[in-house]
């Protein structure tokens, strides 16, 4: 089901400049239609963000691909995701063979994602809490991916990143953000690459926007 649409989506991502075959292969194998509400299932493989309720969206596939490619996770890496949402990004990372830890602040969205992980037999560590302060217990992480736009880079996330690890986070105002790809050189030094023109739902929390 939807196999042709999925292949067409992957072809379009290639044309838009996604070159990491591991990312493309994972996205080919994860069934995005399982992560969206029934009313928008027929749009599941359009390269667009879709509503999942509670003012949240499932990210545009191109955005998922850009962020995952920037993160460049390797097999068995420990990756922390801030903003579980539909669970699609976590499933793509899991498909790439990484150990995924994911945090969602909305209880209903969290429970829906949890049930889906269970049905799909995905071993993803999940918790419902404020993602802007991270998940200290399992730090350091080889990579941290933030799927909501914040006003600044949360200091706690930088602290929980392993040396040589990458943090991928959209930073800006509530409407437009620049994707920050941050590499931790040592405990005090970070290298930042910026990619403009992204739009995410707001990152709410102690080190994000106030609700």
Where in the sequence numbering do the catalytic residues fall? 59
| 189 CB-contact burial (10 Å; exposed 0-12 / middle 13-18 / buried 19+) | exposed
**Contacts for 127 with CB less than 8 Å, ≥ 6 apart:** 102, 103, 104, 135
How many other CB atoms are there within 10 angstroms of residue 31's CB atom?
16
In angstroms, the CA 169 to CA 34 distance is 25
Q: Are 147 and 105 a contacting pair, CB within 8 Å?
A: no
Rounded to a whole number of angstroms, the distance between the first and last alpha carbons of the chain is 39
How many other CB atoms are there within 10 angstroms of residue 140's CB atom?
15
Distances (CA, A) of 101 to 5, 90, 121, 143, 171: 29, 8, 15, 10, 22
Q: Are 63 and 198 a contacting pair, CB within 8 Å?
A: yes
């Amino acid at each position: 089901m939807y196999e042709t649409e999925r292949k067409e989506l992957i072809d379009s991502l290639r044309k838009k400049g996604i070159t990491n075959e591991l990312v493309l292969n994972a996205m080919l194998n994860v069934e995005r239609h399982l992560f969206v509400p029934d009313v928008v299932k027929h749009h599941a493989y359009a390269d667009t963000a879709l509503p999942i309720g509670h003012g949240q969206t499932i990210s545009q596939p191109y955005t998922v691909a850009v962020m995952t490619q920037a993160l460049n996770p390797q097999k068995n890496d420990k990756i922390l995701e801030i903003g579980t949402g539909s669970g699609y990004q976590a499933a793509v990372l899991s498909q790439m063979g990484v150990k995924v830890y994911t945090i969602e602040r909305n209880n209903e969205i969290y429970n829906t994602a949890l049930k889906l992980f269970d049905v799909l037999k995905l071993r993803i560590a999940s918790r419902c809490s404020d993602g802007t302060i991270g998940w200290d217990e399992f730090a350091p992480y080889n990579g941290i991916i933030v799927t909501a736009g914040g006003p600044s880079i949360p200091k706690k996330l930088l602290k929980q990143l392993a040396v040589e690890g990458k943090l991928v986070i959209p930073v800006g105002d509530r409407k437009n953000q620049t994707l920050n790809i941050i590499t931790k050189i040592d405990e005090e030094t970070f290298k930042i690459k910026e990619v403009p023109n992204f739009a995410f739902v707001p990152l709410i929390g102690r080190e994000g926007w106030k609700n």
